[in-house]
């Protein structure tokens, strides 16, 4: 993608990112955050901007499987990384289990913090530290929800955690 029409004062760097399974090559100005790359030129607006300062978690995406505030990452620093955004987790017709659980538990209202909450929750389960509700709450505290859907979000995560645990018990037994 050619972004040189933007005449920035700095020269560009080549960066290669795998975004939602697709390899993309860019010549990027160093001052572009991953968040602004996604939300701007790439038009992947499922990743939200709530503060641009690492305070709200709305911009959470998965970078090599780990949750990260994309506003705090310069895109050029991620050469070779694999990035999954909310769009890559599922589609309206084929939702990720976490997306389904959010829908079922009404774990959102305005929906603006939601992609960040979901990406964060998906990574949280993979991290494997959160087993109980208070641990979920603690480990999700970087994702603010001004609509106050917290209890429903915890319910949704608990449900997915439960089914995943059940599935791994089944697997182990087989």
Partner 1 sequence: MLNSSKVVGLPLPRIDGPLKVTGRAPYAAEHFAPGMLQGYALCSTIATGRIAEIDTSEAERMPGVVKIYTHENRPKAARRDEKWKDEVAVPGHPLRPLENDRILYDGQPVALVVAESFEAARDAAALIRVRYEAGEPHTDLFREQANSYVPPVLRAKDMAPPSPRGNAEAAFAQAPHQISAEYSIEGEYHNPIELFGTTAIPAEDGSLMIHDKSQGSQNSHDTICKIFGLNPDKVTVRNSFVGGAFGSGLRPKHQLFFAVMAALDLKRPVKVEMSRSEMFYLTWRPSCIQTVSLAADEQGRLQSVMHHALEATSRYEDYQENVVNWSGLAYKCDNVTMSYEIAKLDVSTPGDMRAPGAATGITALEAAMDELAYEVGMDPLELRVINFVHRDQNQDKEITSKALHACYREGAARFGWSERSHEPRSMREGNELIGWGVATGIWEAQMSPAEARVSLSAEGKVVVSAAASDIGTGTYTILGQLAAETLGVALSEVAVEIGDSRLPTTSVEGGSWTAASSGTAVQVAGRMIIATLLKHARKMDNSPFAKATEDQVELSDGRLVLEANHQLGVAVSDIMGEAGLTVIEEHAKVEPDKAIQKKYSAYTHSVVFVEVRVDEELGQVRVTRVVDAVAAGRILNPKTARSQVLGGVVMGIGMALEEEGMVDHRTGRIMNHNIAEYHVPVHADIEDIEVIFVDEDDDKASPIGVKGLGEIGILGVAAAVSNAIFHATGSRIRSFPITIDKILESETMQ
Which residues are at the interface with ligand FES (CB under 6 A)? 49-52, 54-59, 69, 71, 108-114, 145-147, 149
Among 91, 132, 163, 168, binds partner 1 (CB under 8 A): 91
Shortest Å, Cβ 108 to ligand FES: 4
Exposure string of 144-171, with b = 16+ CB inside 10 Å and e = fewer, is bbeeebbebbbbbbbbbbeeeeeeeeee
Binding at 34: pick from ligand FES, partner 1, none (beta carbon under 5-8 Å per type): none
Q: Is 102 in the site for partner 1 (CB under 8 A)?
A: yes
φ, ψ dihedrals at 52, nearest 5°: 70, 10
| Binding to partner 1, residues 41-70 (CB under 8 A) | 43-53, 55-56, 58
Candidates 65, 63, 73, 58; CA nearest to 118 is 58
Subset of residues 146 to 165 that bind partner 1, contact rule: CB under 8 A: 146-154
Q: Which two tokens stand for residue 18?
A: 């795998």
Of 13, 24, 72, 137, the one binding partner 1 (CB under 8 A) is 137
Across-strand partners of 60?
69
Give the span between the Cα atoms of 43 and 99, in whole angstroms: 21
Helix, strand, coil percentages for the chain (3-state, nearest 5): 40, 15, 40
Binding residues for partner 1, per CB under 8 A?
3, 5-9, 29, 31-32, 36, 39-40, 43-53, 55-56, 58, 85-87, 89-92, 95, 99-100, 102-104, 106, 108-115, 118, 136-138, 140-154
């Amino acid at each position: 993608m050619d972004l040189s029409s933007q005449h920035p004062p700095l020269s560009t760097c080549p960066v290669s990112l795998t975004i939602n399974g697709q390899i993309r090559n860019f010549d990027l100005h160093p001052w572009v955050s991953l968040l602004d790359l996604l939300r701007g030129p790439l038009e992947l607006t499922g990743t939200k901007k709530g503060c641009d300062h690492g305070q709200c978690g709305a911009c959470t995406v998965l970078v090599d499987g780990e949750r990260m505030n994309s506003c705090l990452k310069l895109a050029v620093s991620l050469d070779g990384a694999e990035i999954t955004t909310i769009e890559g987790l599922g589609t309206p017709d084929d939702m990720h289990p976490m997306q389904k659980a959010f829908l079922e538990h009404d774990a959102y209202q305005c929906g603006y913090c939601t992609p960040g909450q979901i990406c964060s929750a998906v990574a949280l389960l993979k991290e494997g530290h959160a087993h109980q509700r208070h641990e979920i709450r603690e480990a999700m505290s970087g994702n603010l929800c001004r609509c106050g859907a917290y209890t429903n979000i915890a319910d949704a995560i608990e449900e997915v955690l439960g089914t995943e645990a059940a599935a791994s018990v089944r697997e182990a037994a087989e």
